[in-house]
């Protein structure tokens, strides 16, 4: 966690690539991913509707905005699956991109 006078920023680690980025307090996880400026990080609907930003949170505290059951089942949610655009970090986070999101996140790193 990085604390400045203005706000708290959490350190987010993308396990698939080893990348880290900072996420401002109250900002959903996809905002920081898009700011990485890499090809392959999709900027979808940012509202939980398209399901393109599916992740699994491996470690850390977070709160979720309403998730579409079309993209994240209740069982998956209980296992830490979420959508990056519906997940607000409340601590440093370690996550994995999953499904289609994993393919695009890792593609430009040659992991696929």
Task: List residues near ligand FES by CB under 6 A.
Answer: 30, 44-46, 48-53, 83, 85
Of 68 and 108, which CB lies nearer to ligand FES in the complex structure?
A: 68
What is the distance between the alpha carbons of residues 51 and 36, in angstroms, rounded to a whole number?
20
DSSP line for 40-58: T-----SSSSS-TTEEEEE
CB of 28 to ligand FES, least distance (A): 8
Phi and psi based region of residue 83 (left: phi greater than 0; alpha: psi -120 to 50; beta: remaining): beta
* Structure letter (DSSP) for residue 11: E
Q: How far is the CB of 53 from ligand FES (least distance, A)?
A: 4
Residue 104 parent element (H or E): helix 99-107
If the CB atoms of residues 7 and 100 are measured against ligand FES, the closer one turns out to be 100
Minimum distance, C-beta of residue 83 to ligand FES, in the bound complex (Å): 5
Query: Residue 22 CB, nearest distance to ligand FES (Å)?
Result: 20
Nearest CB to ligand FES, comparing residues 37 and 110? 37
């Amino acid at each position: 966690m990085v604390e400045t006078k203005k706000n708290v920023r959490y350190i987010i680690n993308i396990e698939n690539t080893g990348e880290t980025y900072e996420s401002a307090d109250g900002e959903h996880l996809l905002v920081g991913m898009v700011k990485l400026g890499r090809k392959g990080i999709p900027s979808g609907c940012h509202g939980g509707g398209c399901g393109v930003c599916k992740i699994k949170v491996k470690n850390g505290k977070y709160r979720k905005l309403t998730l579409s059951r079309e993209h994240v089942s209740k069982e998956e949610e209980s296992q830490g699956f979420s959508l990056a655009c519906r997940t607000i970090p409340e601590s440093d986070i370690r996550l994995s991109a999953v499904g289609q999101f994993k393919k695009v996140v890792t593609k430009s790193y040659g992991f696929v």
